[in-house]
Amino acid sequence: MHRWLLVALIWLALPIAAAAEKRPTGKIWDHATFVKIRSYCIDSSALPGYEANDVERLVQNESKPKRLLSKLPWTLISDCSESDAIVKVSFRKLRKIDIQLGEPNSPDETYPYAYRADLQVSDEASARQLYEVEAAPLLNSMTGQTMTPEEEPDQTQRYDAAYHAFWTLIQDLQRVSENNPK
């Protein structure tokens, strides 16, 4: 009898566990507007030139057929005034060091560091933030060599972190559409 009760409880818990796995990774601020997006632009105007070039290179490379941005169910438009949403990517550089208690925090650039990409989607009409996610470079090397992400050149880390942020956005859009069929 106890076995059947246990089996029944597990059977009832499976849909709850499956639903928990399908939660978006990023934060959706306005779900109703987010699911209605059909077109987007990428605004890199606030980035320094070298970071803007990294984002533009990613967009150029990954917009091709069967590449990452072609999997995004939105249409990329160059003019932000004509799009439903504006996507902004920014980068943060984090040092990865262990400081012992009592040791001074040295500004030495030889410590390993890694970039994080912050991706925000906002409504073009109202400039309200609809979605945000933070992503780190993936563990696989973009250069094909076996390296940890912090050993990669800066532009490779930024490209890889932004790639991961867009990949997460696409995954979250799929999760939202699976959870809310039309």
pTM of the predicted structure, to 2 decimals: 0.76
At the second CATH level, the architecture of 24-98+110-179 is 2-Layer Sandwich (3.30)
Domain ranges of the chain: 24-98+110-179
Classify residue 169 as exposed, middle or buried by CB count within 10 Å of its CB (0-12, 13-18, 19+).
buried
Read off the pLDDT of residues 81-131 as tens digits, 9 standing for 90 and up: 899 999 999 999 887 655 555 555 555 555 567 789 999 999 987 888 999
Q: What is the pLDDT of residue 5?
A: 54
pLDDT of 6 over the 60 cut: no
Classify residue 134 as exposed, middle or buried by CB count within 10 Å of its CB (0-12, 13-18, 19+).
middle
Mean pLDDT score, 150-177: 89
Q: What is the pLDDT of residue 137?
A: 84
Q: What is the pLDDT of residue 178?
A: 76
